A and B are shown apart, each in its own frame.
Chain A
Amino acid sequence: MNHSSFPWLELLVLVPLVGAIISAGATGLSALVRERVGQAAALITLGLSIAVIIGFAAHDGGYQFVHHTSWISSMGISWFLGVDGISLFLVGLTALIVPIVLYGAMPAERRLAFTAWVLLLEAASIGAFISLDLLLFFLFFELTLLPSYFLIVGWGGKERSRAAVKFFLYTFFGSAFLLVAIVSLAVLHEHQTGVLTFAFPELLKTHLSSTTELLLFLGFLSAFAVKSPLFPFHTWSPATYREAPTGASILLAAILAKLGTYGFLRFCITPFPHATHTMTPIMLTIAVIGILYGAGVAAVQRDLKQLVAYSSLSQVGFIALGAFALSTQGLSGAVLLMFNHGIITAALFLLIGMIAARRGSWDITQLRGLQGPAPIMAAAFTLVMLASIGLPGLSGFVSEFLVLLGTFATHPWWAAVASLGVVLAALYLLWAYQRVFHGKAEGANAQIVDLSMRERLVLVPLIALIVVLGIFPNLLLDRINPSVQKIVDHSAQVVSSSGAQR
């Protein structure tokens, strides 16, 4: 573990939090100033996260920038932060997506409240990614619920309140199991060592019987499977993505979904290697079903937003596939895919949000021939779409390829079936593109305005990353691989040593 004297990670949580408080509550300032303060907080957080990424020592698989102070000592909860190769880029992703939402998907009314909720969501998500204390993680994990809920209810579509409640109930149900599992793990650790602590590295040393381990694994899994969402726990997500405002959809798909998949890696596979080993066939099957089901349903959607939502479900399936394949390539691919999927989905949601803002509809059948009046929009959409399909040279390719390669090494049959998902993705995205952008634009479709300068600027960083990471994926992989290797080694060692004992 690599400690740091300067509180970089604390600032990553505090800056957006302060931004949220000022933009929501500083009634003494004018609305414009408060909005600017909120945006500035998001940009400062982005700067801080870049500084952390630059300062992060590559080829070191341990936790870095670690800060550990006791907080509620009688309950064993500590303020324990740190990043490793798995969480590093998820923090960066969060810090990047939030300013893009604030600049690119700001609703027309009640902008200050929107800014505040988005920033609170940022603080909570980053906090969850960098917490090394299980209970602190849970606190932040739960805290993300609140801003998401209020964003959906405040700025969503017609059936927003029902969608928001569905979202809340599903995720909270998962969390109920998570909390009991966390507490059980800590109590078991206390029975063995006499110390009540929620510090994750300590809890890893707990001895577990195979039944207990499996139960705890399932307890942790339930929360993350709902949050990501993994088939068949996804039923809240289509309605929620549809009813949520564009900004919230982006945050849900790009960041909150990653909290779930990050949970698989950090809190399911790492602490419970035996249970993971036992459950691997089931998890891989679920992942493959998710991939195919998501792609299949996406293909028949008439609603563009639903299409992206289901494609997102399919991509989460790929992430889970890579994670539970338990090979270095598969896990690295999964981590990289989390980042890439965040970028690509954000870009897709932004683009279709821009289309909907112009035409007032997400319905594919009402859109036609947009290429003519809006060539730049069409070009941007093409590029993002191709990245999502996994065209070589763009970022999506590397991660998807690594996932399939890693899965093939350990579980070839599942990989073979999953690769059908890639074909389906090409099918539904190209088909949608064809229907929306090709043909002859008539009526309202012909009147459509191309992207404004502001919209272009918002898309530039996302598209730049898609291109650059397609060519230089090692920028990320050098930092991801050592941490992933640690998980794989630990898991293989534990499983083989217990096998030898038997």
Chain B
Amino acid sequence: MNQLVTPSSSTGLLHAPSVSYLSLWPMAVMFLGALLLLAIAALVRGPVRRQFATAGTVVVGLGSLIASFVQWHQVSTKGAWSTLTGSITTDGFAVMVNIIVSASMIIAALIADGYLAREKIEGAEFHVLALCSATGAMVMGSANDLIVVFLGLEILSIALYVLAAFNPRRAASGEAAMKYFILGGFASAIFVYGIAMTYGATGTTNISQIASYLAKVSLLHNGLVLAALAMLIVGFAFKVAAVPFHLWTPDVYQGAPTPVTGFMAAVAKVGAFAAMLRVLLSAFGSTADSWRPIIYVLAIASLIVGSVGMVVQRDVKRMLAYSSISHAGYILLGVQAATARGVSASLFYLAAYAFLALGSFGVITVLAGGPDADHDLGRFRGLLSRQPLLAVAFVILLLAQAGTPFTTGFLAKLGVITAAVSAASTPLALVAMLCAVIGGFAYLRVAITATAPEGTDLSLLGVDISMTPGSQVKVPVTSAVAIGLCVLVTVLFGLWPAPLTQLAHQASLLFIA
């Protein structure tokens, strides 16, 4: 049974479990920041000024980032530890998730600032909700108990449901949120049922205890374990947008306000994949043979649907939604490998993708100009001549997503492909690379539309040239800084990836040990 709270039979008093506060710091900073912002918003007369909320969020994000680095120092010198009777683990893996989420939070807040200003939305609601959601992702990364995983998942999701409907002036936004909420609730329910079945099969919800139970006991009838596994995988697959549980993704990504979409792509994916990796590899590591084929199929389906979907789409925001599905497919390659190398490759991929997604959606946020609905490919024509810097940044981010050499995007793909090949899944690696070609075309088409000189026959590429090109927009300083940071991370760690690969490598080693 979950031992978070154990009544002592002799005294009738509750023993509080011992707490290592360092384990909780990053999430605590995030969550307290959210509460503080909420309190200030409630106390001051009128809405909180947007700039104040953004600055506060950035400071909170930095605080969380610093706390994560302190954790990193502890983990790398003293090794991993768990606390709260083993329901929270602080290891390299958890810390890396904390780092990615904190950094994503900072960038998302900077990008959202320009959007909020343009849409004339004052107040701290966006920031509070995003901070909550980020807390959830961090909880998922550190959770060592299925119940805690579920808590993290719900904290993450519920805040995201609201964020998706955040802009009251957009009908599409409400529709997206409704769809996300209903399907998400459904997936959560299945996930909880999976937890219940796991408890039924193994007698515990603690991940380490499940692992040792399954390793020690050989079950005559493992039907219950398999059913539990299937339901947990469905829950995760929904959250990471893997095919066939992806149907909500294009609509929600397109309908949600663009900064929220970027945040969703980065943070929700990191949190969900972190928990997925830990549950599958740690709790069900000894039964890897039973879930690897499922992930194999999910990966292939996501890769194919994602990359083909990208080619078909003419709406860039929707195309990036399909791109996020295909990226989920690549990350599943690392999960499927079920090795330390696979975990480290997946983590590196998540880190790389978080910045790529935030940056790309950041550019789209800026470009949307007036009505935040029109992202047709045709509107990107001539971007290079209108806004050279923005165009160059956008092209770099797109090409990195396509896996261009000397960017993090390439190394991320190389990592998962190496992991797949060394786990004897070479056909899967080959499918992934062939899908990279199809996807590469879609990214390149956007890049070419944005940079081609006047008079290029773009209609041959399926670009709707009857659309009037977008007009010159003013790039807010905060957005410029955020997009610049994303590009910098992408190129810098593409050329000199040692710090990031070392981090991911050590994270996976500590995790498996």
**Residue positions of A touching B, CB distance < 8 A:** 71-75, 109-110, 135, 138-140, 142-143, 146, 149-150, 153-154, 158-162, 164-165, 168-169, 172-173, 176-177, 179-180, 183-184, 186-187, 190-191, 196
Residues in B with CB closer than 8 Å to A110 are 453
Chain B residues lying within 8 Å of A139, measured Cβ to Cβ, are 405-406, 410
> Which of B405, B437, B453 sits near A169, CB closer than 8 Å?
B437
Q: In the complex, what residues of B have CB within 8 A of residue A183's CB?
A: 414, 417-418, 421, 429
The complex places the Cα of A495 from the Cα of B266 at a distance, in Å, of: 53
Name the one of B411, B426, B452, B505 contacting A184, with C-beta atoms under 8 angstroms: B426
Q: Pick the residue among B422, B434, B451 that contacts A190 (CB under 8 A).
A: B422
- 1/0 contact trace for B416-452 toward A, CB 8 Å? 0110011000100110011011001100110010011
User: Nearest A residue to B505 by beta-carbon distance?
Assistant: A74
Residues of B within 8 Å of A190, CB to CB, are 422
B399 close to A (CB within 8 Å): yes
Interface flag for B501 (CB, 8 Å): yes
Which one of B405, B414, B418 lies within 8 Å of A140 (CB-CB)? B405
User: Is B461 a contact of A177 with CB atoms below 8 Å?
Assistant: no
Q: Judging by beta carbons under 8 Å apart, are B415 and A75 in contact?
A: yes
| Contact A180 B405, CB 8 Å, known A72-B411, A168-B441 | no
Give bound CA distance, A142 to B410, whole Å: 10
> Is the beta-carbon distance between A162 and B457 smaller than 8 angstroms?
yes
Q: Is B11 an interface residue (CB 8 A)?
A: no
Chain B interface main SS type: helix
Q: Name the distance in Å between B232's Cβ and chain A's nearest Cβ.
A: 30
Q: Which of A158, A159, A160, A176 contacts B437 (CB 8 A)?
A: A176
In the assembly, what is the distance between CA of A138 and CA of B433, in Å?
A: 14
Q: Are B456 and A169 in contact (CB under 8 A)?
A: no
Q: Which residues on A sit within 8 Å (CB–CB) of B456?
A: 153, 160-161
Q: Which of A143, A169, A177 contacts B430 (CB 8 A)?
A: A177
Residue of B410, B421, B440 ringed by the most chain A CB atoms within 10 A? B421
The answer on a CB contact under 8 Å between A161 and B437 is no
Chain A residues positioned under 8 Å from B502 (CB to CB): 74
Residues of B within 8 A of A172 (CB): 436-437, 440
B residues in contact with A75, CB < 8 Å: 411, 414-415, 418, 501
A–B Cβ pairs within 8 angstroms, 14 of them: A74-B498, A146-B399, A153-B456, A161-B461, A162-B457, A162-B460, A169-B437, A176-B437, A180-B429, A180-B430, A184-B421, A184-B426, A186-B418, A196-B418
Bound Cα distance from A254 to B349, whole angstroms: 37
User: Could you tell me if B460 and A159 are in contact, using CB atoms closer than 8 angstroms?
Assistant: yes
For chain B, the count of residues having a C-beta within 8 Å of the partner chain is 38
Bound CA–CA A160/B453 (angstroms): 12
Distance of A146 from chain B, by nearest CB (Å): 7
Q: B455 to nearest A CB, angstroms?
A: 10
Q: Which residues of A contact B417 (CB under 8 A)?
A: 179-180, 183
Residues of chain B within 8 A of A186, CB atoms compared? 418
Asked whether A176 lies within 8 Å of B448 as measured between CB atoms, the reply is no
A161–B440 touching, CB < 8 Å: no
Contact A168 B444, beta carbon cutoff 8 Å: yes
Closest Cβ neighbor of B403 among chain A residues:
A142
19 further interface pairs, Cβ-Cβ under 8 Å (given A72-B497, A183-B417): A71-B498, A74-B344, A74-B498, A75-B411, A109-B453, A142-B404, A142-B410, A154-B452, A154-B453, A159-B457, A165-B441, A165-B445, A172-B436, A176-B436, A176-B437, A180-B421, A183-B414, A183-B429, A184-B426
Contacts of B418 in A (CB 8 A): 75, 183, 186-187, 196
* A176 CA to B344 CA, complexed, in Å: 22
Cross-chain contact B451 with A150 (CB below 8 angstroms): yes
- In the complex, which residue of chain B has the Cβ closest to the Cβ of A109? B453
Q: With A168-B440, A168-B444 given, is the CB distance from A72 to B498 under 8 Å?
A: yes
Q: How far is the CA of A109 from the CA of B456 in the complex (A)?
A: 14
A177 touches B433 (CB 8 A): yes
Chain B neighbourhood of A169, CB < 8 A: 437, 441
Which residues of A lie under 8 Å from residue B461 when comparing CB positions?
A: 161-162, 165
| Neighbouring A residues of B414 by C-beta, 8 Å | 75, 135, 179, 183
B410 nearest CB across to chain A (Å): 7
Residue B148, interface by CB 8 Å: no
From B424, which residue of chain A is reached at the shortest CB distance?
A187
B55 touches A (CB below 8 Å) = no
Q: Is B66 close to A, CB under 8 A?
A: no
Alpha-carbon gap, A143 to B406, bound state (A) = 8
Instruction: Find out whether the CB atom of B430 lies under 8 angstroms from the CB atom of A176.
Output: yes
Please tell me if the beta carbons of B460 and A161 are within 8 angstroms of each other in the complex: yes
B458 — which chain A residues lie within 8 A by C-beta?
A: 161
Given contacts A143-B404, A154-B452, contact A179 B433 (CB under 8 A): yes
Bound: A453/B357 CA distance, A: 53
B-to-A contact residues, CB < 8 Å:
344, 399, 404-406, 410-411, 414-415, 417-418, 421-422, 426, 429-430, 433-434, 436-437, 440-441, 444-445, 448, 451-453, 456-458, 460-461, 497-498, 501-502, 505
The answer to whether B457 touches A173 (Cβ under 8 A) is: no
The CB with the most chain B CB atoms within 10 A, among A146, A154, A179, is that of A179
Query: B417 — nearest CB in chain A belongs to which residue?
Result: A183
A153 touches B448 (CB 8 A): yes
- Cα A152 to Cα B445 in complex, Å, equals 14
**Bound CA–CA A168/B448 (angstroms):** 12
Q: Which residues of A contact B430 (CB under 8 A)?
A: 176-177, 180
Q: Which residues of B contact A138 (CB under 8 A)?
A: 405
Cα(A168)–Cα(B434), bound, Å: 13
Cβ of A173 and Cβ of B411 under 8 Å apart? no
- Per the bound structure, the CA–CA distance linking A190 and B421 in Å amounts to 11
Task: Give the residues in chain A near B426, CB-CB below 8 Å.
Answer: 180, 184
Q: How far is the CB of B494 from chain A (nearest CB, A)?
A: 10
Task: Give the residues in chain A near B460, CB-CB below 8 Å.
Answer: 159, 161-162
In the complex, what residues of A have CB within 8 A of residue B411's CB?
72, 75
Kindly provide the distance from the CB of B110 to the nearest chain A CB, expressed in whole angstroms: 24
Give, as a whole number of angstroms, the nearest-CB distance from A245 to chain B.
12
Residue in chain A with minimal CB distance to B428: A180
A173 contact set on B, CB distance < 8 A? 434, 437
Q: State in angstroms the CA–CA spacing of A186 and B414 once bound together.
A: 12
Residues of B within 8 A of A159 (CB): 457, 460
A481 vs B95: C-alpha distance in the bound complex, in angstroms? 56
Q: Across the interface, which residues of B come within 8 angstroms of A180, CB to CB?
A: 417, 421, 426, 429-430, 433
Whole-angstrom CA separation of A186 from B419 in the bound complex:
12
CB distance from A215 to the nearest CB of B (A): 9
Determine the chain B residues whose CB is within 8 A of the CB of A109 once the complex forms. Answer: 453
- A176 & B434 in contact (Cβ 8 Å cutoff): yes
How far, in angstroms, from A177 to B430 measured CA to CA in the complex?
A: 7
- How far apart sit A187 and B448, CA to CA, in the bound complex (Å)? 36
Query: In whole Å, how far is B432's beta carbon from the nearest beta carbon of chain A?
Result: 9
Are B457 and A158 in contact, CB atoms less than 8 angstroms apart? yes
Within 8 Å by CB of A149, from B415, B429, B444, lies B444
Docked complex Cα distance between A87 and B501 (Å) = 32
For the complex formed, measure the closest distance between the CB of B426 and the CB atoms of chain A, giving whole angstroms.
Answer: 6
Q: How far is the CA of A158 from the CA of B459 in the complex (A)?
A: 12
Q: State in angstroms the CA–CA spacing of A186 and B429 once bound together.
A: 14
CA distance A172 to B448 in the complex (A): 16
Please indicate the chain A residues that have their CB under 8 angstroms from the CB of B406 in the complex: 139, 143
Bound Cα distance A164, B453 (Å): 14
Question: What's the Cα separation between A186 and B448 when bound, in Å?
Answer: 35
Write the chain A residue with the least CB distance to B426: A184
From B410, B452, B505, contact of A161 by CB (8 A): B452
Residues of chain A within 8 A (CB-CB) of B441 are 165, 168-169
Complex Cα distance, B135 from A437, in Å, reads 77
Q: Which residues of A contact B498 (CB under 8 A)?
A: 71-74
Give the residues in chain A near B440, CB-CB below 8 Å: 168, 172
* Interface core residue of B405, B433, B434 (most chain A CB under 10 Å): B405
Closest to A127 in B: B405
Q: Compute how far the CA of A160 lies from the CA of B433 in the bound complex, rounded to whole angstroms.
A: 26
Give bound CA distance, A7 to B445, whole Å.
38
Find the A residue at minimum CB distance from B410.
Answer: A139
Partner of A142, one of B405, B415, B445, B448: B405
Residues on A with C-beta less than 8 A from B444 are: 149, 165, 168
